[in-house]
Amino acid sequence: MRLGCIIRIFLSAMLLCSASQRATAFQSLPPPVAPVRHTVLADGHPLAVWEKRAPSPKQAILLLHGRTWSALPDFDLQVAGEQRSLMDALATQGYAVYALDLRGYGSTPRDSSGWLSPERAAKDVAAAAQWISTHAALAKPPVVLGWSNGAMVAQLFAQRFPKQLSALVLFGYPFDPDMKIPVQPGLSTPLRQTNTAHAAASDFITPGVISKKAIDAYVKAALAADSVRADWRELHEWNALNPAIITVPTLLIQAEFDPFAKSDAHARLFVRLGTADRQWIVLPNCDHAALLEDAQPAFVAAIHHFIQQPRPPK
């Protein structure tokens, strides 16, 4: 990719963020309403899918949470006097917004094995995406947005089921395309480790980008939803991640101070993507939890602009 293209990508991101942050820290949104809970079956196992939608949505978006915490703390955090819910922000932009609790997270129970694996997670996302396409009754399949470990799940899903999404958004992406995970001896019994308040607050690392009240609300919501850590195995299945297989429009969002999202690894991912319809946005003055921080308006603007930009017919 030419240097001029990279510079334009980065400059557009910086201008987008500065304009949003100069205007206001948050948009004025209507009073929040509780998300609607749906139950979707994946191979007979019940998955909790949460929904908030605009009155006449133009597109559906499916949100995938990270490694430790489930959908509602991550995507529908409610803080008195503050706008922190990504679901509310996207619904206000005119979207039907869905958030999935993977197995062992939030309101989705573990299956009989007690474990989750990358391939199993991708299949569960496929079940949710297929259900959303029917339920939302829109012209296109959903956009799928993954955060952190959820970005890896989103990519694996996009590789396995390319016709079930219309675009891919990766944020806080922690994987290096050159990484190889060795096969590890399997544990017979899930660890079921207790989650902690320290772990819930650990992603908020940049001073001054989110209020103490919002951090406290996140810790409370996260521990209430996920008191026990979900257990993963077969992590070598992540070795199947191959950006060259991705054919849908892809937006890669990186936060300036995100310790898990490395620029060199992002560059390897970006240049190897199998789609020419791709953008790489860097958001300044935020970190791994940017979607909950004061950078949220810029985060939402980047997603909205990418989804809605004109594209030539195929």
| Whether pLDDT at 21 is above 50 | no
- pTM (predicted TM-score): 0.92
DSSP alpha helix (H) spans, the chain: 3-23, 71-75, 86-92, 118-136, 149-160, 197-201, 212-225, 263-272, 296-308
Sign of the CA dihedral 241, 243, 246, 248?
positive
Domain 3-26+38-181+191-217+228-308 superfamily per CATH: Alpha/Beta hydrolase fold, catalytic domain (3.40.50.1820)
Total number of residues shown for the chain:
314
pLDDT tens readout for residues 262-302: 999 999 999 999 999 999 999 999 999 999 999 999 999 99
pLDDT tens readout for residues 40-68: 999 999 999 999 999 999 999 999 999 99
Output 39-45 pairs: Cβ under 8 A, ≥24 positions apart. 40/127, 40/128, 40/131, 41/127, 42/123, 42/124, 42/126, 42/127, 42/128, 43/123, 43/127, 45/103, 45/109, 45/111, 45/124
Domain ranges of the chain: 3-26+38-181+191-217+228-308
Strand, helix or coil for residue 196: coil
What would you measure as the largest C-alpha separation in the chain, in angstroms? 54
- Region 166-194 average pLDDT: 94
The conformation of residue 141, written as its DSSP 8-state character, comes to P
* CA distances in angstroms from 78 to 18, 32, 57, 152, listed in the order given: 25, 8, 22, 26
